[in-house]
Structure formats: C-alpha cells, structure tokens
Structure 1
Amino acid sequence: MMELPRDVRQIIETLENAGYEAYAVGGCVRDMVLKRVPQDWDITTSARPEQVKALFRRTIDTGIEHGTVTVMKNHVGYEVTTYRIDGEYEDSRHPKNVEFTDNLVLDLERRDFTINAMAFHPVRGVVDAFSGMQDIEGRIIRCVGDAGARFDEDALRMLRAVRFSGQLGFAIEDKTLQAMKERAKDLQKISAERIRTELVKLLVSKDAAQIRVAYQSGMTGVFFPEFDKMMELEQKNPHHIYTVGEHTIRSIEAMNYFFGKYSNHFDSGLVSAESEILAGKLVEGLTAKQHSILCVAMLFHDIGKPDAMTIDEAGTGHFHGHQKISGQIADRVLKRLTFDNETIALVKRLVLWHDYRFSESPGAMRRAVSKIGKDLMPLLFLVQMSDALAQNPVTIGEKLQRICSAAGLWQDVLQSKAALELKDLQISGKDLIDAGILQGPEVGKVLKMALEYVLEEPGRNKKELLLEWIGKNFL
C-alpha cells in the first residue's frame, strides 16, 4: 500500500477542491513502488502557475516560466508543476518554450525514463501510461518513447541513465544504450555542474561499477578523458591483475561496501573479519559528504599511473611518483568539474598519502600522524583498505593485516594523548617571546623543531623542559 505524506496529500486535496487535477509524479512514485524513501516529492497539476499561487499562502517562483511553483509547507518545499508539453529543445537541455495542457498523459510523455513517468493519486492509484511498473519489475532503464529524441532534448539524461542503473541495480535497455552511444558527444553541451552532480551520485551508489557503461558508451571520453586512459592501461605488475581503471572501479566498490552499499557482484569474502570491524568503527559518524569525498578520492587515487608508468628490463611495470602526479591531475579535473574547494583539498591529501606505508614503532606512527594530519587518518585507512581490496587477491590478506596493525598503533597513539601538532605543545610562541628567548620569524621554526623533539619522546612535552632545551640549543 503506497502512502503519501500528509503535506503532499493536503496540496493535492487543495488543488482538487478548487476544481483541478493533481498527482504525485516522477521519482517519488518510482521510489514508493520500490519501497524506497523518496528524497523529495513533486506534484503535477492541471492548474496554471498563477492558479497554484492563489491557493497557497507561501509559494516561491522557482521555475514559473516552465510552469513550476514551489509550495512551502512546514518549512519544506514541494514543487508543483503544471501539466505541460515541451517545445523544441535548442541546447540539449532547455525547451525553447513550453505549452500547458490539461492532459496528464501528455505531461508524462515528455519525461526521461518509463520508471519516472508514473503518477500517483491517493484515491485513483497509479497512472502508468508507459509501462513503468513493468520496467521496474523487469529492472530495466528505458526511455519514454524514442530514446534518441529524449537524449536530444537533454543530453544529461544519458548520464542519468547510468546513474539510475547504479542506484537501482537496473540494466539499460538495448535501444536506450544504443542511442547513448550515438549521442555521447552531446554531453559537451552540458554544464560541468550538472555532470558533477550525476557523477557523484553514481560514485556513491550501490553499483558504482556502472561507470563502465559511461566509458563503453563514450561518455567519459567527453567529460573525463583521463578516466579512459586508466581503463586502457595494463599494469604489468604482480600486485595488480586489473587495468588501472578496473582497479579503480573495484576500489570504489570496496569503499561503498564499507558504507553498506554494495551489489551482488562485490566479493565480500575478500574482506577479513578484522578489517570489517575496523571499517565499521572508521565509518561510524562520517557524513554523506565525507562518503562522497572518499569515493572521489578512490576515483583519482591512481589517475597519474598512465603518466608515471615505466617498464623495467623484466617487463614489470612501475609507477614511481604516481601519487604526486595523481594529486595534480585530481586538482585539474576537480576544478574543471566545479567541485568545491573543501572536496578538492581533501581528495588531494588522500591521493598524496594513499600509498604511505606505516612503520611499526610508536615513534614512527607519531611522526606519520603529525605529518599527514590527525583529521585525515580515519579517512586514509578506509582509502588504503579499499585500495588493497582491489588488488591481486593473493596479496589482499597480508595488506589488510598490515593496515589493521597500523590502525591499531594509531589508536594507541591517540589514547596516549601524545603531542602530534604544534597546538599540542605545552609552549607557544608567546612563551618564547615572553621569556626573551627568541623573537621574529625564528619562533615558528623553533616550535616545529620542538615538536619533532617531543614526537621522539612524548614525556618531553613539559613547559620547563622545552624552554630549557630551546635555551640550550638555540641561544
């Protein structure tokens, strides 16, 4: 039994009591059929925008030229859009004009995929003129009507097809896929912002490996050619049995597994019990934004390998310095795709350190944490485990064991309350100046050396001892 939220029912009832038709429509109906919780609720109606505005106390003109008014209820916005027929599209995104209609089926006909072209009424039930229910049962992504025409209207729909495939675990229907291959180049007409949004949604989906379809259909070659270079590069290295691209995809799948999102083809048997427990602790409390940043980091962690690769006399591939090159490419591509500065900075740090091999002594761990940053450590261990799980299965167990041991040592260091950053020192620059020991720019340099001194032996982090040590060594 499908149930609409109270506010949605009230909006529909208000419109109907005024003599108009109204239905919940699109993705929310699809999600109700799939027993998923809809992220938002859209309503379609025969009422014109000005008629909608007259019926509700608080409205926002979010897209009134295309028939959309947002109705505010209890601090939540609900998009209410007039039944419409889209005119000719001139830029693979926007119709030049829209024509309002009183026919619900004509409105549903303009939508992208059959699974999104259903409407629902609390009394009359589901309106399914294009067999969306049948495609949900068959687990198929299929365009409404002619696939080529739908993609000509909005080229982003091609990437949306891949994203829905990843989120829902559905296959893309043959004619829809063929139309995608024929029109992949049209993605160059789409803004980087819109592409970024779909890409991130795909990366955090339970079947992020569907990015292969974006590659095979030619889409990544348009907006992310660096990815194509990875897909085509054999690593020729005993640690790896996959191309760089396949390794990258599998590492993203592993990351999503740690967040509870995975498809049937992910081999969870590769995950040791110890690493499963560690990952559970590390992801606890992480946000959806951090999840997406981690998946983006996996996408870029080896992207510099095609440029860094050398082959020795034995025919073995090596990738010295690929971490730094990967960070540089990540910076360039993420800026091109208009990612925010926080994401770019964090991804670059994770990419730079993803291959770091931790030593097994407490002192070495303290120095590593100080160098890498306390804030990065939980994320870095998740990155390293995801990376390991996408390598040669013969080596996975040993690598996971090493990472778990390092994480245990990291936990010990944290619990010891040892100084790891300048702010943890028992002295400050002001202390040095007040004591008349140092002045000017030398203060910062000496504090950094004091931190190195304390990292060797945490018991040295006492104000008197540090002032005495500085006095002996720097005066």
Structure 2
Amino acid sequence: MRIELPQKVSTIINKLLQHGYEAYAVGGCVRDSVLGKKPDDWDITTNATPDEIKKIFFRTIDTGIAHGTVTVMLEHEGFEVTTYRIDGEYEDNRHPKSVSFTRNLIEDLKRRDFTINAMAYNDTQGMVDEFNGMSDLKDKRIRCVGNPEERFGEDALRILRAVRFSAQLNFKIEEETKKAIQKLASNLKHISAERIQVELVKLLVSNHPERLKQAYEMGITKVILPEFDCMMNCEQNNPHHLYTVGEHTLRAVSHIENNKALRLAMLFHDIAKPATRTTDEQGIDHFYGHPKKSVEMTKVILKRLKFDNETRNKVCLLIQYHDVDIENDKKSVRRMINKVSEDNFLDLLKVKKADILAQSNYKREEKLYNVNTVEKLFHEIMKDKECVSLKNLAVSGQDLIDNGIKPGKQMGIILNTLLNEVIEEPKLNNYPYLISRALKLNKEENKV
C-alpha cells in the first residue's frame, strides 16, 4: 500500500535515509491516511539519536529531548522526529521512569497503545505492520498491542483513549481489550484532570458521542464522572420522557452539533435530576428546580476537570435557561435575548431542540413548532435591528452625562430602566424620547 506523504515529511525521511538511518511516518498519521482522512500532524520515528538528528538538520528544537524527541523546522513548520525507544518501568500509571533508545523499529512499535496506532510507513520500505493494525482497521476494531493489561497498566489514560477512538472511528473494542478496561478502569484515578478533560472532549465532539455509554458499562465514568452513573440509573416516569435521565442525555448529546460547549451543555443539562426527583400520588416523576441545581453541579464538575472559564460560563448559561419557556411573540423573544445575549440565543435554541428530540413524542410537534417560531422571530428582530441590549440603546452613559446626569449607580439604574422600556416597545428607542425620559427618572430619584 502506498501513502501520499507531504513533501516536507518526505524530505525529512529521505534525508535521514541518505545519511544511513531508518525513518518512517508513524502512529496516527499512518492510521488516518489509510482511512482516507487528512492527518492533523505527522510524526516521524527513526533509529538516529537526537544528537545525530540535530547534526543532519539545520534548525531543530529540543522539544522532548529526554524522551528522544526533536522538532525539525522546515520553512517555519515543525515536525516531531523521535528516536526508536523502549520505555522503562511505569511508576504512576502514566509515565515511564526512564526511556532507552533502540535501533530496532519493532521494539519501538511494541510499546504503543493500539495496533491501529502501531504502524510505520515510508516510500522505500512501504508499510510496517507487525501487529496487524491493517486488519484491525479493516474490521473496525480497537485492540491493544500485545497484552492489554500490560498496556493499560503502563498508561491508564489509554483506557479512556480506547473509548475515544471507538467514538471517533465508529470501531468496536475487542473483547480482551474490553476485559482489561473493566479490570483496570479504577487506575484512571491516577490520571490528571487535564488529561481526562482532553479525552472526554474528543469523545463528546466525535460523530458518536453516544459511545460514552461504553465508558459507563465498563466502569470508566464511575471513576471520572460518577454523576453520569447516577443519571443512567434515574428513571423518568413522566409523559414527556421514555428513557432514563442518562439515556435521554446520550440522545440529546447526539442531537446537537459537535461543538464543545454545546455537547457539554447537553451532557450536563439534567445532571441534577437524580437529586431533585420527586414522585406524586399518581406515580408521575417531577424534577422541580433541576436547571438551577444542574448549574451548581456543572460548575463543580467543570472546575474539577479544569475547564477554562469561558467554557464553564457558556455551558452554565445554556443549562440555566434550557428549560425556560419562551413565548412565541417578539416581546418575549427580546427579553430572552437580553438575558442570554445575541451571541448565545441561537445556541440556546439548539439546546432546546436537542432536548425535545431526545424526549418522548408527547407534544413534540408543538414544542418544535414553538422553538422554530421563536427562531424566526429572532431573525426578524435582528433584521429590524430592534434593541435588545445597552449597546443597541439610542443613548449612552456619555449622553446622560452630557445632559447633566451624574455617573454612578443611579445612572446604571436609569439606563436599565430605559432598556427595559425599549425591549417592551422598540419604537421608544430614539434619542429625544430617551433623554427626556432619563431626565424625568433622574429628577424622580433625586426627590427620593
């Protein structure tokens, strides 16, 4: 099989070959190329040592010299070139205590996680596939290189990576690999929150985020996201639902576009339902106050997983308003736009649609019609440039100052009063009226 290597990758490999060394493209770039996907980056492996690599290329950067990695720069673009290596004993379920270089490619490939990531290629030798990665790609199978318990014992993050690759590639996990995951899932407690976050997000934004259920079934979420296990075990005896909270959540995540904040919002939108569940005399379940409680729980979880503030704020905002009914009239839509902002409003509607599509058929058409009507009204409001925030108001704080109103708390109250009136009646958004109204409000406040 022939792979089309980028020109610069070929240049690096050929230069190493010309100096008497071996060199191959290796890992994910080979896998993706075989699958017909464009690799995000290209990794190169060689039997040349870091010092030997640096002698061959004009410009290099010591990016991971202790582990044999040198970045070769070609026309301002960097390519990681790593010496064949054998990992020493692993001490923390993540990192080897030491690494030693080897001149044997197979020894290097032997230490890698999955067979589909343990293939090497160059145009001279062709494909090196010692562990039948090509066969596993053909059969759509995730399988460890060698003994799966040893591979997961070396690096527990590989346990989550197996599910992530399964979701990204739509592959099944081979049985022995699956058994080892179930046995060793608890070792994920040794992995940093930052690394867990990266793999979880990659899983969520894949084409098959519902594969998170595999993580639940194999005991992974019990370690990294125990709140999800509670959702999987929480029934929803209610006309609007026919799945457990967890099953509903998995479907909701799949019904929204693969954007990080949106997928996270769907994952956590009902996270507090198990904690807020009550059952009435007719046997109907209710989850009063679950959006507010879900926001509180989500803040804790996202902080625990080291998400950035921007992501945390957006996800929590969408969860806060996901269950709020928006009347399908312009006034109600303007009010909600003001609460969540123009930038977030359409995302909120996407969240609402995904939520509805993951529910029962009860009143589904009516619910979707209302959301679609609200979306049309939003576009009309934007087209007509109706005021929905202070930035759209026909007067500014400086205008009020110019008319004798002192800056401070009272000015803020006046501006928000004007905004609320304009949201109720857009025709009022004109300079003469708003200045007159502001002066009147200021006078009334000063009397008090």
Please state which band the TM-score falls in when normalised by the shorter chain. over 0.9
User: Matched residues in 2 for 1:361 and 1:394: separation?
Assistant: 23
Q: CA deviation at 1:437?
A: 4.1
User: Matched residues in 1 for 2:10 and 2:79: separation?
Assistant: 11
Opposite residue 426 of structure 1, the aligned amino acid is: A
Identity of aligned residues (%): 51
**Structure 1, gaps ≥5 residues long:** 260-290
1:15-414 equivalences under 5 Å are 15-256=16-257, 291-414=259-382
User: Matched residues in 2 for 1:463 and 1:158: separation?
Assistant: 62
Q: In the alignment, which residue of structure 2 is the partner of 1:270?
A: none
| 4+ long deviations beyond 6 Å | none
User: Matched residues in 1 for 2:265 and 2:407: separation?
Assistant: 42
CA shift in 2, pair 1:141/1:439, >3 Å:
closer
**Structure 2-normalised TM-score?**
0.96
Q: CA deviation at 1:425?
A: 1.2
Tell me, yes or no, if the aligned pair for 2:84 and 2:104 is still in contact at 8 Å. Answer: yes
Q: In the alignment, which residue of structure 2 is the partner of 1:273?
A: none
User: Matched residues in 1 for 2:117 and 2:440: separation?
Assistant: 74
Q: CA deviation at 1:439?
A: 4.9
Render the CA deviation track for 1:214-269: whole Å, top value 9, x for unaligned: 1111111111111111111001111111111111111111114xx5xxxxxxxxxx
Render the CA deviation track for 1:334-371: whole Å, top value 9, x for unaligned: 11101111100110101111112111221121112112
**Structure 2, gaps ≥5 residues long:** 444-448
Could you say what secondary structure the match of 2:255 adopts?
Answer: helix
User: Matched residues in 2 for 1:436 and 1:80: separation?
Assistant: 68
User: Matched residues in 1 for 2:260 and 2:408: separation?
Assistant: 43
Tell me, yes or no, if the aligned pair for 2:239 and 2:362 is still in contact at 8 Å. Answer: no
Opposite residue 313 of structure 1, the aligned amino acid is: E
Q: In the alignment, which residue of structure 2 is the partner of 1:7?
A: 8
Opposite residue 306 of structure 2, the aligned amino acid is: T
Could you say what secondary structure the match of 1:393 adopts?
Answer: coil
User: Matched residues in 2 for 1:71 and 1:398: separation?
Assistant: 59
Opposite residue 165 of structure 1, the aligned amino acid is: S
CA shift in 2, pair 1:84/1:361, >3 Å:
same
User: Matched residues in 1 for 2:8 and 2:99: separation?
Assistant: 28
Q: CA deviation at 1:468?
A: 1.6
Render the CA deviation track for 1:68-108: whole Å, top value 9, x for unaligned: 11112232221111111111111111111112111111111
Could you say what secondary structure the match of 2:20 adopts?
Answer: coil
User: Matched residues in 2 for 1:35 and 1:97: separation?
Assistant: 36
User: Matched residues in 2 for 1:409 and 1:394: separation?
Assistant: 25
Q: CA deviation at 1:457?
A: 1.2
Q: In the alignment, which residue of structure 2 is the partner of 1:287?
A: none
Could you say what secondary structure the match of 1:62 adopts?
Answer: strand
Q: CA deviation at 1:394?
A: 4.2
Q: In the alignment, which residue of structure 2 is the partner of 1:423?
A: 391
**Structure 1-normalised TM-score?**
0.91
User: Matched residues in 1 for 2:308 and 2:5: separation?
Assistant: 35
Tell me, yes or no, if the aligned pair for 2:29 and 2:41 is still in contact at 8 Å. Answer: yes
Could you say what secondary structure the match of 2:256 adopts?
Answer: helix
Between the two proteins, the alignment pairs up a number of residues equal to: 442
Render the CA deviation track for 1:131-154: whole Å, top value 9, x for unaligned: 101111111100000000000000
User: Matched residues in 2 for 1:392 and 1:337: separation?
Assistant: 32
Tell me, yes or no, if the aligned pair for 2:42 and 2:79 is still in contact at 8 Å. Answer: yes
Opposite residue 471 of structure 1, the aligned amino acid is: L
Could you say what secondary structure the match of 2:238 adopts?
Answer: coil
Render the CA deviation track for 1:280-320: whole Å, top value 9, x for unaligned: xxxxxxxxxxx111111111111111112111111111111
Could you say what secondary structure the match of 1:167 adopts?
Answer: helix
Q: CA deviation at 1:416?
A: 1.3
Could you say what secondary structure the match of 2:86 adopts?
Answer: strand
User: Matched residues in 1 for 2:116 and 2:332: separation?
Assistant: 55
The alignment yields a C-alpha RMSD, in angstroms, of: 1.2
User: Matched residues in 2 for 1:440 and 1:80: separation?
Assistant: 60
Alignment of 1:461 onto 2:433: no
Q: In the alignment, which residue of structure 2 is the partner of 1:264?
A: none
User: Matched residues in 1 for 2:262 and 2:55: separation?
Assistant: 46
Opposite residue 307 of structure 2, the aligned amino acid is: F
Tell me, yes or no, if the aligned pair for 2:85 and 2:108 is still in contact at 8 Å. Answer: yes
Render the CA deviation track for 1:393-430: whole Å, top value 9, x for unaligned: 34433322221111001111111111111121111222
Could you say what secondary structure the match of 1:294 adopts?
Answer: helix
